[in-house]
Amino acid sequence: MNNRFTHSTLIMMLVFLFASFLSSCEKEDLLEGVPELQLKTYESGTHDGYFWSLWKSDGLSGSVNYTNGSGGNYSVSWNMNGNFTCGKGWSSGSRTRVVGYNCGSFSLNGGGGSMAYYGWTRNPLMEYYVNEKWGATRPADGGILRTITSDGGTYNVYTSWRSNAPSIDGTQSFRQIYSTRTSQNSTGANHTITFANHANAWAASGYGLGSDISPSAILLTEAWGTSNGYCNVTVWESGSSSGGTTTPPPSSPISGTKRFVNRATGLSIDGMGRTSNGSDAGQYNSSSSNAHWNIVSAGSGYYYLVNQGTNMKLDGYGRTSNGSACAQYSNSTTHVNAQWQFIDAGSGYYYIQNRGTNMRLDGYGRTSNGSALAQYNGTTHVNAQWQIVD
């Protein structure tokens, strides 16, 4: 008998038996007993009265070394390409928790990421962050929904839409909502995060957390891309609070009836005379009524854009694929897909971003009269920059 074949067969049998054992045991209990196992991309458990977790993306290369310290302390060092999240906290979230923490050391070189209070809700499925520290890139995807002051710092509120991405319920599409400090918090000192202040501000911006906040909540370290770094932090519960009042959202200087002219193509957004729900909006070198839009406040810093020629509202139509066409819908709709935010792009131009889909209007480099108006996620290209003219 071939010894090489016998050895390989034995390994395969052991892997099969262990996989069967995994399926019949509680993951947390098993991983507590054998923390060195690398058979799963997600590990979690309890340590010294705190919940902890470590998630690594499929295909991550390099190393991520997580260690639980005493009480609410943990440390993590990494040198990798991929995405990981880890941290220590609580097995269930809370709307009123005041989080105490002390970050003794934090460095993040290359890639992106942050140190944050982090968790999920269901009904709807949402991922939330309160970002306290980061590397070279400040987490700030999308336009500023509002600015709040909490725990001695100033935070901007942002939201983004994730399509077919990893979640606590498998691959899903879901909304991220987060607050990011305007400047990083200090190391080596005790700090607090009054979570209710952020949850209240998110709700006032139209993005209230889901009704089920029972999934775990941790003081997170996350990194993605090609990066290396180190974090050592201690977390504890520092009381409870229902939060204070929120400041109003930033106002827009936009009002009245305007044309939106693309910076790259010179074409205007045009209703094309189309009056059927779901019909595509177009682009045209025109100053007719079909190229003029009434800007009507929808509240919370968002606006309806009503075509003067057709009386139809510009509508993202729930489309989240880059390059998808932008539609129109009856003036009677008040859906978030018909609500738009103006984000200053500088030099007198704006990004026009949909509230429902988080997509930005994009000329897509099309210069033919009647070409479709597209949408694109998070782009800063000149094709997504619009000048507002009479």
Q: For residue range 276-302, what is the model confidence (pLDDT) as tens digits?
A: 999 999 999 998 999 999 999 888 778
Which tens digit of pLDDT belongs to each residue from 89-114? 999 999 999 999 999 999 999 999 99
pLDDT at 37: 34
Among 101, 113, 109, 108, which Cα is nearest to 188's?
101
Q: Mark which of 209, 240, 271 sits at the end of a domain.
A: 240
pLDDT classification of 248: cutoffs 50, 70, 90? low
Claim to verify: residue 233 and residue 312 sit in the same structural domain: no
Claim to verify: residue 231 and residue 274 sit in the same structural domain: no
pLDDT at 321: 94
Among 25, 30, 58, which Cα is nearest to 44's?
30
Which tens digit of pLDDT belongs to each residue from 33-65? 333 333 348 999 999 999 999 999 988 999 999
pLDDT at 12: 38
pLDDT at 1: 35
Supply the CATH number for residue 340's domain. 2.80.10.50
286 CB neighbour count, 10 Å cutoff:
16
pLDDT at 362: 97
Rg value, the chain, Cα:
24
Which tens digit of pLDDT belongs to each residue from 5-25? 333 333 333 333 444 433 333
Claim to verify: residue 213 and residue 310 sit in the same structural domain: no
Claim to verify: residue 260 and residue 236 sit in the same structural domain: no
Which tens digit of pLDDT belongs to each residue from 109-130? 999 999 999 999 999 999 999 9
Query: What single string gives the DSSP state of each residue in 144-212?
Result: --EEEEETTEEEEEEEEEEEEE--BTBSEEEEEEEEEESSPPPSSSEEEEEHHHHHHHHHHTT-PPPSB
Claim to verify: residue 53 and residue 193 sit in the same structural domain: yes
What percent of the chain lies above the pLDDT cut of 90?
72
Task: Work out the average pLDDT over 381-390.
Answer: 92
Please, which residues have CB within 8 angstroms of residue 275's CB and are 6 or more apart in sequence? 310, 311, 312
Q: What is the pTM of this model?
A: 0.62
Identify residue 197 by its one-letter amino acid code. Answer: N
pLDDT at 291: 95
Tell me how many domains the chain contains. 2
pLDDT at 246: 56
Which tens digit of pLDDT belongs to each residue from 188-208? 999 999 999 999 999 887 788
Can 32 be counted among the known catalytic residues? no
pLDDT at 245: 61
pLDDT at 204: 83
Tell me the torsion sign for CA atoms 300, 302, 308, 313. Answer: negative
> Residue 304 above 70 pLDDT?
yes
What percent of the chain lies above the pLDDT cut of 70?
87
Does residue 71 or residue 245 have the better pLDDT?
Answer: 71
User: Per the domain annotation, does 13 fall within a domain?
Assistant: no
Claim to verify: residue 198 and residue 121 sit in the same structural domain: yes
User: Per the domain annotation, does 215 fall within a domain?
Assistant: yes
pLDDT classification of 271: cutoffs 50, 70, 90? very high
Claim to verify: residue 292 and residue 227 sit in the same structural domain: no
Task: Work out the average pLDDT over 356-384.
Answer: 93
Q: What is the DSSP letter of 48?
A: T
Claim to verify: residue 74 and residue 195 sit in the same structural domain: yes
Catalytic hit among 32, 127, 132, 237 = 127
Catalytic hit among 32, 43, 222, 237 = 222
Domain of 79, in residue numbers: 45-240
Q: Which of 131-135, 145-149, 168-172, 299-303 has the lowest mean pLDDT?
A: 299-303
User: Per the domain annotation, does 236 fall within a domain?
Assistant: yes
What are the φ/ψ torsions at residue 378 (nearest 5 degrees)? 65, 10
User: Per the domain annotation, does 94 fall within a domain?
Assistant: yes
Claim to verify: residue 158 and residue 72 sit in the same structural domain: yes
Can 26 be counted among the known catalytic residues? no
Q: Mark which of 240, 265, 293 sits at the end of a domain.
A: 240
User: Per the domain annotation, does 14 fall within a domain?
Assistant: no
User: Per the domain annotation, does 172 fall within a domain?
Assistant: yes
Q: Mark which of 216, 240, 264 sits at the end of a domain.
A: 240
pLDDT classification of 253: cutoffs 50, 70, 90? low
Claim to verify: residue 276 and residue 221 sit in the same structural domain: no
User: Per the domain annotation, does 11 fall within a domain?
Assistant: no
User: Per the domain annotation, does 107 fall within a domain?
Assistant: yes
CA 12 to chain centre: 41
The per-type count for the chain, helices as H runs and strands as E runs, is 3, 24
Claim to verify: residue 55 and residue 145 sit in the same structural domain: yes
Supply the CATH number for residue 142's domain. 2.60.120.180
pLDDT at 13: 39
Which tens digit of pLDDT belongs to each residue from 168-182? 999 999 999 999 999
Mean pLDDT score of the chain: 87
Claim to verify: residue 235 and residue 264 sit in the same structural domain: no
What value, to the nearest 5°, has the Cα angle with vertex 102 and ends 93 and 247? 60
Which tens digit of pLDDT belongs to each residue from 326-354? 999 999 999 999 999 888 777 888 899 99
Bridge pairing between strands 282-284 and 268-270: antiparallel
pLDDT at 247: 53
